[in-house]
Structure 1
Amino acid sequence: QLEWLDATLAAAKEDWVVVVGHHPIYAETSKDDVERLDMQRRVDTILRRHRVDMYINGHIHNFQHIRMKDSGIDYITNSSGSLSRKVKPVEGTVFCSSEPGFSILSASPASLELRMVDKHGQVLHTVTRTK
């Protein structure tokens, strides 16, 4: 799978490159740290090499937007429509919330926007990238 990801990203010519996976690379969670360290070592290395714009994951059931100082990637954890878990800021946190909800991703040649929306339809946080 890692070889496939590397080859697919190497061939990508799109205006924006967004990778979606289930498990987080960077996130605040009580779940297994070893898993995230493995994701950082194996997956994040590939994403950075190919200058991916955004990585979106689930798994944790809360909203998180993390931007590490040494990376140009926006790391997004999407909440869930039901069960949510408490969250607190960690290194690189731009935004976090334990509200249940969903995200909306919009793209044009000039901009990429992700809106984190709570269960009442209110936008909690917006991530905007422009070229």
Structure 2
Amino acid sequence: MTSRNFPDFYYKITKTLPWNKVLDILLIDTIILCGHANKTPEGKTIYHPDDVHDAEVQWNWIEQNLKDSKADYLLVGGHYPVYSIGFHGPIECLYTRLEPLLYRHSATAYMAGHDHSFQHIQMHKNGQNMDYIISGKGSKVNESQRHVDDVPTKSLKFFSEEKGTGGFAMFDVSGARMKIKFIDSNGVENYVYEIQPRKSE
């Protein structure tokens, strides 16, 4: 049975915006890609897909859709973060395999949850920025920073210190910019960041 809101495990949404701009969103299934967390005897957390074939099919779909996108804004969203300073931390499966694709095809940003906090992490490679947005405060809040040393110090642009309150991220997209806002349960903007449209190739 197909849901109207979630037509598949991973899928693409394309929206035509005012000013003749286009937004592409690739929503991916990071459980299929990386599996569930497992602990090694040494206590290290590792991720491995349950079905390698299904994971490879999705990896191919991601790469093809990133490559084909000519949108002015190209977002990718999944449950697991690529990078996080929170309780779960960075996911090796994603920073080794997904991140190079995001750079190669000039994605606008990657959106995630998993850690129950607000975070904006910006990585920089070969003259190109990549923005990682974590908005996981929809229900319970966990302000752990146990992995703060697992990302470069200057890459952390925002982390919500507020405890005990939920919130959400809002993406306000226009022809001139994409404005990302972290808004708490009282409707207060905790943080605002703007990203410009992708450059035409």
Q: TM > 0.5 between the two?
A: yes
Q: Give how far 1:37 is off.
A: 1.5
In structure 2, the CA distance between the partners of 1:98 and 1:87, relative to structure 1 (3 Å rule), is farther
The CA RMSD measured in Å over matched residues stands at: 1.6
Q: Give how far 1:98 is off.
A: 4.8
Residues 76-116 of structure 1 show CA distances to partners (whole Å, capped at 9, x for unaligned) of 00032221111445521000015420011111222111100
Alignment of 1:93 onto 2:156: yes
- Larger Rg computed on CA atoms: 2
SS in 2 for 1:17: strand
Normalised by the length of structure 1, the TM-score is 0.90
| Corresponding pairs, count | 129
Specify which of 79, 83, 87 is matched with residue 30 of structure 1. 87
Alignment of 1:12-31 (within 5 A): 12-31=69-88
Residue 20 of structure 2 is matched in structure 1 by: none
SS in 1 for 2:72: coil
Alignment of 1:1-131 (within 5 A): 1-31=58-88, 36-70=91-125, 71-88=128-145, 90-91=151-152, 92-99=155-162, 100-131=166-197
Contact 1:87 1:96 in 2 (8 A): no
SS in 2 for 1:72: strand
Contact 1:17 1:54 in 2 (8 A): yes
In structure 2, runs of 5+ residues without a counterpart are 1-57
In structure 1, runs of 5+ residues without a counterpart are none
- The percentage of counterpart residues that share the same residue type is 29
Q: Give how far 1:42 is off.
A: 1.0
> Which amino acid in 1 is paired with 2:129?
G
Normalised by the length of structure 2, the TM-score is 0.60
Contact 1:101 1:117 in 2 (8 A): yes
Q: Give how far 1:69 is off.
A: 2.8
